[in-house]
Amino acid sequence: MTVYVVGTMDTKAAELGYAKAMVEAAGARALLVDVGTRSSESPADAKPEEVAGHHPDGAGAVLGKHDRGEALAAMSIALTRYLATRSDIGCVLGLGGSGNTALVTAAMRALPVGTPKLMVSTVASGNVAPYVGPNDLAMMYSVVDVAGLNAISRQVIGNAAHAAAGMALRRVPASVSDRPGLGMTMFGVTTPCVTALRDALEGDYECYVFHATGVGGQSMEKLADSGVVAGMIDATTTEVADYLVGGVFACSDDRFGAVARTKLPYVGSVGALDMVNFGAKDTVPAKFGGRTLHVHNAQVTLMRTTPEENHAAGQWIAERLNCCDGEVRFLLPLGGVSAIDAPGQPFHDPEADAALFDAIRSTLKPTGKRQLIELPHHVNDPAFAAALAESFRGIAR
């Protein structure tokens, strides 16, 4: 297997050459890929013209651009398609600043989960969510700019090269299971529900549980799009509340998109839609002054959703489920939607829950395949988990 060292040779030739040499010194094969849009007579193994030629409109759509931003965006498309043609990728190692990081990580994100991906970047100590997304992509902060070799950059790049070589040389054996994969979403406040689900189903399914922190739902749906899971039990759709209200664990506007695209068996619910997530208490925006807050821990503060917010969330979910033509079962736990939404708990608010349930009832369009099921249980009651499991078994292929 080969380490693909990727970057722009017009500005990072010394650093990329050093990374390649360190990979080879560690005993792995290396191939240097130049994605520079202004490189001339590149010494790379894969030159810009070769990579750019994989753009659907040809190399001219990449190298003929005068605007640098447009050229980088086009080269990213070309690199994505170029890497898709390679059958010997042991690891993709990228080096660069903000522009090259955006270019290379976009192509990395298109690779399957399990293919090693490592990006050495000047922006890796900030918010890396836009670069990583729902993928197993590792980011390493370069400390100094990737702008010349010095004592620090040699150490950092060398460590990254050794890590990439190790991943290429020591592949993790593929896990073999005769059980189909099943995606599940969970939050701390729906853990009893999902634990019971796993106990009920893991004898027949390989259960993949995703923490519903914004990227969790995206990760589950990426695996659905990739054909890795055979169905989904989406018990915890809390990311929708953050998306609509402005919390830190927001989903994207494509939430439930994979359900529609793949038509995989889908069972969903409203777990943890009683809350919007923020960081430490002092990070809650001032406009939410006076709202009911619950300090989950020093880093996470929860805000109770209002009836109006719950109505909007229920309507948003139902509208997207109306676009799904596969088998869909959506279950409402009328006794409460999270561990802290029960009598005596800080987020118990029957009016807000009713607004959520009413919005789903009035918006969801039942069909022979799309059904709404209402149960008197709390989301964490064993009977509700049993109903989720039974519903999935009833539609599983």
- Asked if the model's pLDDT at residue 39 lies above 70, the reply is no
pLDDT above 80 (res 64): no
> What's the average model confidence in pLDDT over 235-256?
97
| Choice among 34-48, 108-122, 159-173 with the minimum mean pLDDT | 34-48
Rounded Cα gap, residues 341 and 189, in angstroms: 9
Residues 61-92: b if buried by 16+ CB within 10 A, e if exposed: bbbebeeeeebbbbbbbbbbbbbeeeeebbbb
Percent of the chain with pLDDT over 70: 99
> Measured between alpha carbons, how far is 159 from 370 in angstroms, rounded to an integer?
52
Q: Give the pLDDT band of residue 67 (cuts 50, 70, 90).
A: confident
Calculate mean pLDDT across residues 335-349: 97
The pLDDT of residue 142 is above 90: yes
The number of angstroms, rounded, from the C-alpha of 90 to the middle of its chain's C-alpha atoms is 22
Alpha helices in the chain (DSSP H): 9-25, 48-52, 60-63, 68-84, 98-109, 129-132, 151-169, 191-201, 215-225, 239-245, 257-262, 307-321, 350-363, 382-395
pLDDT band for position 66 (cuts 50, 70, 90): confident
Q: Which domains does the chain possess?
A: 2-169 (3.40.50.12020), 181-395 (3.40.50.12030)
Confidence of residue 175 (pLDDT cuts 50, 70, 90): low
Quote the pLDDT of residue 134: 86
The two tokens of residue 397 are: 């292929």
Per-residue pLDDT band for 253 (boundaries 50, 70, 90) equals very high
Q: How confident is the model at residue 172 (pLDDT cuts 50, 70, 90)?
A: confident
pLDDT at 133: 86
Mean pLDDT of 5-15: 93
Does the structure show a pLDDT above 90 at 397? no
The count of C-alpha atoms lying within 13 angstroms of the C-alpha of 67, restricted to the half-sphere facing its C-beta, is 5
C-alpha distances out from residue 186 to 119, 191, 195, 364, Å: 29, 6, 9, 23
Q: What is the mean pLDDT of residues 136-147?
A: 93
DSSP 182-223: EEEEE-GGGHHHHHHHHHHHTTTSEEEEEE-SSHHHHHHHHH
**Whole-number pLDDT of residue 151:** 94
